[in-house]
Structures are given as structure tokens and as C-alpha cells.
Amino acid sequence: MRRAATLTAGLALALAVPPAGAQTTRRELDALRAHLELPAAVKLKPATDLALPPARPLRVRLAFGLDLKARDNVARWIDEWNKKDGARLGQLQLVEEETADLVMARYTERDKVRTRTTTGPDLGGSGPAGTRSAPRTRFELEVVPVYAYLLDSRKSDEWTVVWRYTGFTTLADTGGSGRELWDGLRELLKKRGK
């Protein structure tokens, strides 16, 4: 009898506590909701299909917070896309406050800075020609976690995560800031255009 009660209590506890993966997903969605300042009434969930909304032009809102360099980079890449590939694969229209079909969201956790060491070729002056291997130099980079999302935002009460990227990026803003998000959108645009 005592063993049955222990098993029942253990099973009830297991059912009451969500698995670790669910807790991680919930925390990530909560952080994304906070970044987007979405009200609790708007449901936020992963998409079942990795596809962009069909609208042409696709109205896109950039939600980058104070990550201004990444915002400028992505806006520039969108402009280049419209000039080069927009007529063939679909134009992108940047919108600010009005309703968007797609929200591009990106944020970093600057309070979680890490130092990564990498090696590369020595960029110093070259010596006499020979067969020796090029010297290697160690570089230390400050990196932070980065999160990037493409969200279908056409429904006012439910947004779906169509594409997601997590990784690390340099703390310093560069001409490549936001590239992971742009590359994800570009690949989905090409897939949609086929």
C-alpha cells in the first residue's frame, strides 16, 4: 500500500512539473514577449510550418530595441533586396507602427558577456618568401548571447515564431550585426519564391 501511495505521489509530481525543455521554451517566449512588449492577450507560439506570410509586398517591422547598428544593417539589406530581387521574389515594405505581416526581432543579453579566444593568421608584415607556415595570432573577443526571430504577426491575438536563431555575437556593433536574421529571412523569401 505504501509503495502504491509513493508511486501515485511521484506520478502526480511528475505531471505537475513541466519538463525542463518546456520551462526553457516558456522562459524564452517570456523574454521575447517582454522584448516585443506584447500584451498577455496575444498568444505567442512556434509555427508548425517554416513559411513566410504570403502577402506581397510583405510588410515588415523591425523590433531591435536599441541595437541601432543591426537595425540599420537590416534596413540597408532590405533596400538592396528590393532593388535586386524584389520584383522577382517579392518586395519588402518597412513599417513602423502600423500592422505588419512579419516582425523581425533581435536582442542580445549584454549582461552576460563572455570572452572567447580564437586564432587567426598574423596580419603583420611579411618576411622573406619561404615554406614555413604562417604564424598564428590569438584574438580575444567579447561575445554576448543573441536571439533573433521572424514572427508572423498578421493575427492580432496570435503571433507565431516562423524562424529562430540563438547563438553568440560580438559585443561591438559591426557592419555584420543582424546578419543571422537577414540571412534567415532571405532564405525563406527564396524558398517562397520557388
* pLDDT for residue 108: 84
CA atoms of 76 and 45, how far apart (whole Å):
29
Domain boundaries of the chain, sorted by first residue:
17-121+137-193
Q: Is the sign of the CA dihedral 43, 48, 52, 53 positive or negative?
A: negative
Cα(184)–Cα(97) distance, integer angstroms? 23
Q: Do 78 and 89 touch, CB atoms closer than 8 A? A: no
Q: Which of 165, 166, 160, 151 is nearest to 45 (CA)?
A: 160
Whether pTM exceeds 0.85:
no
Q: How many CA atoms lie within 13 A of 156 on its CB side?
A: 2
What string of pLDDT tens digits covers the 194 residues of the chain? 444 443 333 333 333 334 444 558 889 999 999 999 999 999 999 999 888 998 899 999 999 988 899 999 999 999 999 999 999 999 999 998 778 999 999 998 766 766 766 676 655 555 555 555 556 676 667 778 889 999 999 999 999 999 999 988 876 777 788 999 999 999 999 998 76
